[in-house]
Amino acid sequence: MALPLELMFVIDLLALFGIFAIISLSLNLEFGYAGIPNFGKLLAVAGGAFFIGAVPGRILAYLFGVINGLDYVKDNARIMTALAKILASNPLLSVVLLVLSLILAAVVGALLGFIASYPAIRLREDYLAITLLAMAEILRTIGYNYEGLIGGTLGIAVPDPFRWVGGELRYPLATAVIMIVTVIIFLYVERLSKSPIGRVLRAMRDDEVSAEAFGKDVVKLRMKTLMVGSAIAAVGGALYAFLAGSVTALGYNRVTHTFWPWVMVIIGGTANNIGVMLGAALFVTMRKLIIFYKSLLQPFLPFDVVWLEYLFLGLVLIIVLIYRPEGIIPEKPSRTLPPKRLQEIMKRVES
């Protein structure tokens, strides 16, 4: 039984919202709290997706003897058909595949974050942003030209951990998993931002010299922040690869996976995770509505409707920057503990 069109619209909207919320939360951790202008967000997102396209399928093919001398890229359709039958009959294997793949994708993202931060972390903000942007383009170019990784321009299919559900329920299950992961990451980033580490990150963002004067290693803090943020973004890229069922280098670009998350963070409010979630929801919803109703809007527009989303979203960004430069929900000042509470803590420490 086919799901209603309106329900499919909502499910697709939630899936895209969850993925972009994850990416935006990672950017908010880096830029909103730590002040790191990461214009290379594509590096981690594509890294997580490319890992899903290159590794899990190959491992499963070797474990179950599906490869049998076949070329994983050229014979990808044949191999994926065999793996689909295995995953469809083994829900436990599918769940293990999904969980381990997301964990390993996060590790790959953290590694990419470390590699990107190591030569560039001591640069000033503008040079750091350019360097990170260049590194993201390097990875995209490798994926585009090296067919052995993810099939180059043609892309590659990935094992489907939701295959065991089958039919129309496959996409709703994938969306539910994405939303669960989104909530977990939101709670983690929210707790991290309110912890002593979050205070240190804001201190580093506001005045690096003062943070260093209080004994904080700014270089290591920025490096660790990039690693954590990249790990989170890589999970978003991995989930998108599983949702789409395939990975192609053409599907990952700096507009979609770098500039759009920046717009979401700026609209919602930097250093405010709830604001970022709201910004992601508004952005994804507006874009989805424009795409869904573009055929109806075309007769009323003096230009091609494909440009409408860029013009409209750009206009929204300008309006927000003019009237709400700190975002729809600006950063809330972190309050220190009252004197009595501090004295109680000191007594406990001394005793």
User: What is the per-residue pLDDT across 84-94, written as a single tens digit (0 to 9) for each?
Assistant: 999 999 999 99
pLDDT (0 to 100) of residue 88:
93
Segment 285-297, tens digit of pLDDT:
988 888 888 778 7
Q: What is the pLDDT of residues 211-220, one digit of tens each?
A: 888 888 888 8
pLDDT at residue 107 in the model: 98
Task: Tell me what the mean pLDDT of segment 229-238 comes to.
Answer: 97
Look at residue 296 in the predicted model and tell me its pLDDT: 80
pLDDT at residue 126 is higher than 80 = no
pLDDT of residue 173: 94
Quote the pLDDT of residue 293.
Answer: 80
What's residue 335's pLDDT?
66
Looking at residue 342, what is its pLDDT?
67
Domain range list for the chain: 5-254
Task: Give residues with Cβ within 8 angstroms of 120, minimum separation 6.
Answer: 127, 128, 131, 132, 135
Position 219 scores a pLDDT of: 86
Provide the whole-model pTM.
Answer: 0.92
Residue 1 has pLDDT above 60, yes or no: no
pLDDT tens, 8-23?
889 999 999 999 999 9
Average pLDDT, the chain: 90
Predicted local confidence at residue 303, as pLDDT? 79
The β-bridge partners of 246 are 157
